[in-house]
Each structure stands twice: as C-alpha cells, then as structure tokens.
C-alpha cells in the first residue's frame, strides 16, 4: 500500500514553479514560435492576404516549390557515434569573407510591403548574426540604406540585367561604391513566371484596394497603420513603379541577356561574382570555365519555371563536376537548419534563405528576423551534434542519403 499524506505547501512550491508572464505581445508570440512553420503561421495571421501570398506562393501549380521542400524532407541522416561534439564550429569562409554560419539571407523583392522595416530589419539581423545579407534589384531599401543598416557586416547585391542596360550598370557602380563585396548575377528570369496567387489577388505596386482587400485588412489594422504612416513604398533602386507584379518584373527583365552581358558586368565589378539560377550540370561547367567565383543552384524559389529541376538533387552532380573550381550555393525550399546541414554535407559552400526570413519579418519585424536566425542556427547546431560533427569540415556525403520519390522513366 502507498502511504498517503496531506501535501505541505513548501513541498508543493518546490515541485511547481509558475512561469513569469510575458507582457510584451511581440516577444510572447515570437518566443512561442519554435519552428519556421510556426513563424509562417504567425505571419499569415498578421499580414494581408495579397502580401502574404506573394511571399508564400510560387509559379503556376507551385510544383517546383513543393518538390524542392519535399527533397529536403526526404533526407535520411547517418549519424556517427562516440565522436565528441560538445562544441560545434559553424563558421566558414564564403566567397573570400567570413560567415558565422553557412547561410546568407537571399534577395527578396517588395520587402517593405511584407512588413515596413523591410530590408533594414534583414540587413541588421544578418549583421548581428555574422552572416551575409543580399539586397535585390527589386528591393525597397536603397543600396546606401542597406549599407547604413549593416555598416560592418557583409552585404551582397543581386542584379537583374534590365532592358535599359545603363540602369543595371548604375546599380553595379553604386553597390561597389558602397562596399558590397559580392554580386549575384541572376540568370533564371528572362521573363516573369506566372504567379497565379498574385494575379488572383490583384497584387500590385502600389497595392490596389478592392472590397476583398478591405475586408481582409479589417482584422489587421497594425499592418495598415505601418503601411500608411511610413515612407511611400517604392523601389529604391528603380525609378518606375506602378502596375502588377508581373508587369514590373517583365519591364525589369530582359530575355536577351547572354554571356556577353556577363563579360561586361565582370569588367565593371571589383568583387566576387556569383551566378544565381543555375539548373543543370552543363551550364555549371560552362560558367566554371568562364571563371566565375561561384554559382547558386536555384529555381528562384519555384517562382519562375514550374516543374523546374530540384536544386538540392542537382547538388552532388554539380559539386562533383565543378566543386573544385567554384563555390557552390543552393537555395529553394530551406525551412530547417537540418536542410542547411544536409546541403553542406553534400558539398555546398553556403545556402540561402528567402521565405524563412520573410516569415520572421512578417511575424515581428527585426525581432522576427532575429528569431528566424535563432531557430535555424539552433537546429543546425543540434543536427551537427547529433551527427557527431564538430565542424562544417567534418560533414561529408556519407552523412546524407537523398531519398527520391520522383525517378525518371527509362528511355525507350
């Protein structure tokens, strides 16, 4: 028989401790976010549908994005046992400069429309974490504004070569003058992809007000307060705005860009040059032969060609063919620090996060971006410890098996 007694108050207090309530609503909701998916849920509640769908959506049937994410979920890790990893070194040298972790913030357009702090929040958070920040040609903070927000950190610039070449050349010169150390020459956007969510939502710059958007905005007054009481939303690097997103993108992009344009830009740019949007081995080999510093395997977050190749699946073949000559980056679908670990194990020098950063931004501005980085780095370090890897150099292909659902049919 169990002996029973009346509980003593002093003993109860030893067994139970009440958590101090957090009165700051922003801190409370961000502390409750344990994954990037949690931040996405918060972002969806707090952001008007058109702006959220621009971030969350992809092209046409959104198959490219879904497949890219599935590829990371289909990773099987092979941990090593009895290998001490009490401390983990996540630092790396990427494109000639230091990074505290093997990932950077990717370029995103229209960023202040997601949340008014926009690129200033992203650049500041990246600088504080010791990782690079990338400003998009279609960003809503100027090159000089990003430099001011991240004066001592690493800033990269993503370039679209536009129909009016002089505009692109001017941006290259401004980024160089501001001390940006890496240029991302983007090659997967000859025309804008068919982003159907944006078309259905009438997403435009400036936003178009309809009965539906007004009804959707009623439970989100904080977004509208921020939007209406901060400087006018416009492209800080471009002069022409107005129209749907597709119209703006088509005006900015040029389907005639070629290796000749790459040669011109390389002649103007004093830092590292990386080609973003590579989607097959042959193109990777041609770029390596052309002497670029790096390539980023990317299908533009699934926002351009639907049914595009899965960047993570391409990674081992590209690393095998050109990894000794150029630094390989990878993006699209990264939602967990374990995705970053798997990419590095298969030979990527770095990865890029786009949507994960924007979910944090929409969830809580600068503090939300800090939380995104905190979640990803926590997952990254924990995964490395569980694998028995105490540094990035110890990660190797044997740690990762890519389980594959989509297998090409035999020819014939």
Q: What is the pTM of this model?
A: 0.92
pLDDT at 370: 98
Who wins on pLDDT, 335 or 20? 335
β-pair type (182-186, 272-278)? parallel
Token digits of residue 290 = 């052309």
Token digits of residue 73 = 């979920």
Question: Looking at the domain assignment, is residue 34 inside a domain?
Answer: no
Cβ(157)–Cβ(134) below 8 Å: yes
For the stretch 178-199, pLDDT in tens is 999 999 999 998 888 888 998 8
Query: Taking 90 as the threshold, does the pLDDT of residue 226 lie above it?
Result: no
pLDDT at 205: 61
Question: Three-class SS of residue 92?
Answer: strand
Question: Looking at the domain assignment, is residue 219 inside a domain?
Answer: yes
Average pLDDT across the chain, whole number: 90
As a whole number, mean pLDDT of residues 63-72 equals 96
As a whole number, mean pLDDT of residues 116-135 equals 97
Query: Which of the residue ranges 104-118, 161-175, 222-236, 368-382 would you say has the lowest mean pLDDT?
Result: 222-236
Which residue is catalytic, options 29, 272, 300, 303? Answer: 300
Cβ(161)–Cβ(185) below 8 Å: yes
Domain enclosing residue 261, as ranges: 39-402
381 pLDDT band (50/70/90 cuts)?
Answer: very high
Question: Looking at the domain assignment, is residue 2 inside a domain?
Answer: no
Q: For 58-92, b where at least 16 C-beta lie within 10 A, e where not — what string?
A: bbbebebbebbbbbbeebeeeeeeeeebeebebeb
20 burial class (0-12, 13-18, 19+ CB within 10 angstroms)? exposed
CA distances from 360 to 117, 120, 212, 219, 302 (A): 12, 13, 25, 20, 20
238 pLDDT band (50/70/90 cuts)?
Answer: low
CA atoms within 13 A on the CB side of 260: 3
Say what percent of the chain tops pLDDT 90.
69
Cα separation, 110 vs 14, whole angstroms: 52
What is the CATH number for 188? 3.20.20.70
CA angle centred on 149, ends 265 and 57, rounded to 5°:
70
Question: Looking at the domain assignment, is residue 254 inside a domain?
Answer: yes
Q: 399 an active-site residue?
A: no
Q: For 248-274, b where at least 16 C-beta lie within 10 A, e where not — what string?
A: bbbbbbbeebeeebbeebeeebebbbb
Question: Looking at the domain assignment, is residue 33 inside a domain?
Answer: no
Cα separation, 157 vs 143, whole angstroms: 8
Cα separation, 376 vs 207, whole angstroms: 32
Question: Looking at the domain assignment, is residue 229 inside a domain?
Answer: yes
Query: Taking 70 as the threshold, does the pLDDT of residue 210 lie above it?
Result: no
For the stretch 265-315, pLDDT in tens is 999 999 999 999 999 999 999 999 999 999 999 999 999 999 999 999 999
Question: Looking at the domain assignment, is residue 126 inside a domain?
Answer: yes
Neighbours of 169 (CB within 10 A): 16
Neighbours of 341 (CB within 10 A): 28
Question: Looking at the domain assignment, is residue 156 inside a domain?
Answer: yes
Query: Which of the residue ranges 21-30, 254-263, 314-323 would you say has the lowest mean pLDDT?
Result: 21-30
pLDDT at 239: 60
Say what percent of the chain tops pLDDT 70.
90
For the stretch 19-41, pLDDT in tens is 777 778 889 999 999 999 999 99
2 pLDDT band (50/70/90 cuts)?
Answer: confident
Total of domains in the chain:
1
């Amino acid at each position: 028989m169990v002996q029973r007694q009346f509980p003593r108050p002093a003993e109860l207090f030893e067994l139970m401790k009440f958590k101090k309530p957090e009165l700051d609503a922003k801190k409370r909701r961000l502390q409750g976010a344990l994954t990037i998916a949690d931040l996405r849920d918060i972002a969806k509640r707090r952001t008007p549908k058109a702006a959220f769908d621009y971030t969350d959506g992809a092209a046409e049937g959104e198959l490219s994005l879904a497949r890219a994410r599935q590829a990371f979920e289909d990773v099987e890790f092979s941990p090593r046992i009895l290998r001490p990893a009490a401390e983990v070194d996540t630092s790396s040298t990427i494109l000639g400069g230091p990074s505290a972790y093997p990932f950077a913030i990717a370029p995103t357009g229209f960023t202040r429309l997601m949340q008014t702090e926009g690129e200033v929040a992203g650049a500041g958070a990246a600088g504080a974490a010791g990782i690079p920040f990338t400003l998009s040609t279609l960003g809503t903070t100027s090159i000089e504004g990003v430099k001011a927000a991240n004066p001592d950190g690493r800033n990269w610039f993503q370039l679209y070569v536009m129909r009016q070449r002089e505009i692109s050349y001017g941006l290259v010169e401004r980024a160089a003058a501001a001390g940006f150390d890496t240029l991302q020459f983007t090659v997967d956007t000859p025309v804008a992809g068919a982003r159907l969510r944006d078309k259905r939502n009438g997403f435009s710059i400036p936003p178009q007000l309809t009965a539906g958007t007004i009804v959707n905005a009623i439970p989100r007054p904080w977004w509208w307060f921020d939007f209406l009481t901060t400087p006018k939303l416009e492209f800080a690097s471009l002069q022409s705005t107005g129209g749907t997103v597709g119209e703006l993108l088509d005006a900015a992009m040029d389907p005639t860009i070629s290796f000749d344009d790459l040669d011109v830009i390389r002649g103007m740019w004093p830092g590292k040059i990386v080609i973003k949007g590579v989607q097959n081995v042959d193109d990777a080999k041609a770029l390596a032969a052309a002497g670029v510093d790096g390539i980023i395997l990317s299908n533009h977050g699934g926002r351009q060609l639907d049914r595009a190749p899965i960047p993570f699946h391409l990674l081992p073949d590209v690393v095998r063919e050109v990894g000794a000559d150029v630094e390989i980056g990878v993006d699209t679908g990264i939602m967990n620090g374990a995705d970053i670990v798997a990419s590095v194990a298969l030979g990527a020098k770095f990865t890029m996060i786009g949507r994960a950063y924007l979910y944090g931004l929409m969830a809580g501005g600068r503090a939300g971006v800090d939380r995104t980085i905190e979640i990803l780095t926590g997952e990254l370090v924990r995964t490395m410890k569980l694998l028995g890897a105490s540094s990035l150099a110890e990660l190797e292909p044997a740690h990762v098996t890519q389980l594959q659902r989509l297998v090409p049919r035999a020819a014939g």
